[in-house]
């Protein structure tokens, strides 16, 4: 493994804290955005990882020790949410058959049934009790508690099915808004409970935005059906004093960027982008007050040669390091769980050669 000790003048935590404060750093941090990969390195099945927050935390600590050059910390959660929280079922990735837990089937498929969906108890619904267990361990070890970060659209699509949701945007807009309002209320109540226990200053949020990709919906649809609810949730977080926010734009959100001008964010928020987006143009949009992150192509990470990975990381560094707000090297989305270890080594090698300021 590359020996970063030869050139590093900062420890991982020092590097990240300096970046978040807008101060100079010795090199670019690498955040692995890891869940399933952490389970693999720890030697446990992904089903076990996601069902057991205690083991997920231990896997995160193990990753930090195994790859000290990374800026990683234990994390917990998954993207395909909504159905379980609102009375449906979840499929676990036992025997590593799937990358992460997924919704088995929609809770409702008829727009007339939206109003009859019971409001779940945030203390017992879906993954919330598991996240609460993880938050307790995390805070006891000096890490922040996680607030619900998936947009209402993500959960709504899980409740009615993603295909149905996209159809409803056109055919049943009123039902979509009612569903979004219901989900927004659930997210905010969950967040209130978390902040009451741990304090807003000790909380962080990863706001994943997959269903709003322009590969699925238009900028106008985002403005009408998603933006108002994201504004309400992030506005509430900021007003309560949450300062550690990462926005993960999963897919191509280029046409939606203009709308983020109207969404409340604290200074030094992190914008993580997929490989479909342009690092330079996104950096120009978010400006020097926010941090740019991304956007190593995940297909290259998992299936490319070591040289392919090296060149892809070099590309990201060559563009991202010019962003005046600072840059974090990250995969375009969650680090593929089956990424070859030699490709992780290639990331380190490129970072060692081209990632120092």
- What is the CB neighbour count within 10 angstroms for residue 54? 11
What CATH number has the domain bearing residue 300?
Answer: 3.20.20.210
Mean pLDDT of the region 163-170: 97
Q: What's the pLDDT score for residue 5?
A: 74
Q: What's the pLDDT score for residue 6?
A: 87
Q: How many percent of the chain have pLDDT more than 90?
A: 97
Among 236, 238, 284, smallest CA distance to 257 is for 284
Question: Number of structural domains, the chain?
Answer: 1
For 17-166, list the strands marked E by DSSP.
Answer: 90-91, 102-103, 145-147
**Tokens at 350, concatenated:** 């490129």
Contact 264, 231 (CB under 8 A): yes
DSSP symbol at 216:
T
Beta bridge partners of 103: 90
pLDDT band, very low/low/confident/very high, at 149 (cuts 50, 70, 90): confident
Contact 318, 260 (CB under 8 A): no
pLDDT band, very low/low/confident/very high, at 238 (cuts 50, 70, 90): very high
Mean pLDDT of the region 164-182: 98
**Tokens at 91, concatenated:** 């499929």
Residue 286 CA to residue 294 CA, distance in Å, equals: 14
Mean pLDDT of the region 265-291: 97
Tell me the CA distances in angstroms from 334 to 10, 35, 130, 248, 324, one per residue in order.
Answer: 26, 7, 20, 10, 25
Residue 143 in this model has a pLDDT that exceeds 80: yes
Q: Is 317 exposed, middle or buried (0-12, 13-18, 19+ CB in 10 A)?
A: buried
Cβ neighbours of residue 39 closer than 8 Å, sequence gap 6 or more: 45, 46, 48, 49, 56, 59, 337
Beta bridge partners of 296: 331
pTM score, whole prediction:
0.95
DSSP symbol at 226:
I
The residue segments making up the domain with residue 332 are 4-354
290-348: pLDDT as tens digits: 999 999 999 999 999 999 999 999 999 999 999 999 999 999 999 999 999 999 999 99
Q: How many percent of the chain have pLDDT more than 70?
A: 100
Contact 221, 169 (CB under 8 A): yes
Strand 270-273 to 203-208 pairing: unpaired
Q: What is the signed CA dihedral for 355, 78, 225, 196, rounded to 10 degrees?
A: -100
């Amino acid at each position: 493994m590359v020996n970063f000790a030869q050139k590093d003048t900062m420890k991982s935590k020092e590097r990240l804290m300096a970046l978040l404060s807008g101060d100079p750093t010795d090199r670019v941090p690498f955040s692995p955005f890891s869940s399933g990969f952490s389970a693999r390195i720890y030697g446990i099945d992904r089903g076990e990882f996601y069902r057991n927050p205690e083991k997920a935390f231990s896997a995160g600590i193990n990753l930090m020790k195994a790859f000290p050059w990374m800026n990683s910390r234990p994390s917990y959660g998954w993207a395909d949410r909504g159905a379980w929280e609102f009375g449906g079922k979840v499929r676990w990735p036992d025997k590593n058959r799937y990358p992460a837990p997924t919704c088995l089937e929609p809770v409702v498929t008829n727009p007339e049934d939206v109003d009859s969906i019971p409001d779940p108890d945030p203390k017992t619904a879906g993954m919330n009790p598991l996240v609460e267990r993880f938050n307790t361990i995390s805070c006891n070890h000096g890490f922040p508690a996680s607030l619900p970060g998936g947009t209402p659209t993500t959960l709504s699509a899980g409740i009615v099915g993603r295909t149905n949701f996209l159809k409803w945007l056109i055919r049943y807009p009123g039902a979509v808004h009612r569903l979004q309002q219901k989900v927004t209320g659930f997210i905010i109540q969950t967040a209130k409970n978390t902040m009451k226990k741990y304090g807003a200053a000790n909380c962080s949020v990863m706001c994943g935005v997959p269903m709003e990709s322009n590969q699925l919906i238009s900028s106008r649809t985002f403005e009408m059906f998603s933006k108002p609810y994201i504004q309400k949730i992030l506005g509430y977080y900021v007003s309560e004093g949450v300062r550690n926010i990462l926005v993960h734009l999963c897919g191509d959100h280029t046409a939606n960027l203009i709308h983020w001008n109207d969404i409340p964010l604290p200074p030094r928020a992190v914008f993580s982008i997929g490989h479909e987006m342009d690092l330079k143009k996104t950096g120009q949009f978010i400006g020097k007050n926010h941090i740019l992150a991304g956007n190593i192509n995940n297909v290259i990470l998992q299936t490319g040669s070591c040289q392919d990975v090296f060149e892809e990381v070099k590309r990201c560094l060559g563009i991202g390091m010019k962003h005046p707000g600072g840059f974090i090297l990250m995969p375009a989305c969650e680090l593929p769980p089956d990424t070859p270890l030699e490709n992780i080594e290639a990331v380190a090698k490129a970072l060692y050669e081209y990632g120092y300021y």
